Amino acid sequence: MIRIDLDDLPPRLTALLTAVAQGEEVILVHNGAVAGRLTGGAPVATEALDAEPPTDEQAKQVFEDFRSMIEDEF
C-alpha cells in the first residue's frame, strides 16, 4: 500500500483530495495519459482517536507482554 501524507502536498491539492466524496473517482493524468485512479472512501471515524488513554495497569500489561515477546524472540 502506498501512503501519501496530505501535509506534504500543496494546499490546493490537499483541499481537492479531501473534498472527494465517497465512491467518487479521481483520475491521475500524466502527459495526457491516465496514470492512476483514486476512489474516495468513507471518512475515517474519529471515535478511536477520542478514546481515553490506557490506565497505568493496562500500560504495564502491554509493556510486560512486549518485553516477554522480545525475550522469547532472542
pLDDT tens by residue, 35-73? 999 999 877 666 655 567 778 888 899 888 888 888 887
Task: Supply the pTM of this predicted model.
Answer: 0.48
In which domain, by residue range, is 43 found? 6-73
Residues 33, 50: Cα–Cα separation, whole Å: 42
Q: How many domains does the chain have?
A: 1
Between CA 42 and CA 23 the distance in angstroms is: 8
pLDDT at 3 over 80: yes
Tell me what the mean pLDDT of segment 14-35 comes to: 92
Q: Is residue 32 part of a domain?
A: yes
CA distance 43 to 66: 32
What average pLDDT does this structure show over 25-31? 93
For residue 1, tell me if it sits in a domain: no
In a domain, residue 67? The reply is yes
Torsions phi, psi of 72, nearest 5?
Answer: -65, -35
Cell numbers at residue 6, please?
496530505
